Amino acid sequence: MTRSLRWARALVVGLVAGAACSQADAQTLQACRARVSTMRAAFAAPEPGHDAARALPAWAQTLYEQLRQTHEPRARAALLDEGVGKTIDGCYGLADAFREAAAAPAGSRRAAMTKLVPTAIESCECRGVDVESLTLFLRLSPST
């Protein structure tokens, strides 16, 4: 095989692989947007029932059960903080969203959070985010 033929073949293989990656990226982005859309709808719904935790990973189900049994505000806050921390590994834009929501005036923090957090998740294309567990833990957090 001549050098130019090998180069052309490598170019074709690269283009085909690039197209496959682009299609996979588009599918991943579409799946992320669907998950975030579900998150937005959950934020608008009444408090979550016990069924909300059934589809989550085992660690999140365990933490949810601990939250159900804990009534002391500081202990609940620590559990919620642990849960949220475990769900956002790798999406650094979420830290900014949480800071901005916390800086909102009292009484509007939950509204700020429900607007800013989904947007941040979409911007990192759901990478490193357990969207469903995060949704549950944020819905269980006190509204301030």
Burial of residue 76, with CB atoms counted within 10 A of its CB: 0-12 exposed, 13-18 middle, 19 or more buried: middle
Query: What is the mean pLDDT of the segment spanning 15-35?
Result: 70
Question: Mean of the pLDDT values across residues 48-70?
Answer: 88
Q: What's the total number of domains in the chain?
A: 1
Per the structure, the complete domain to which residue 92 belongs is given by 3-140
Mean pLDDT of the chain: 82
- Per-residue pLDDT band for 91 (boundaries 50, 70, 90) equals confident
Predicted model pTM: 0.77
Of all residues in the chain, the percent with pLDDT exceeding 70 is 81
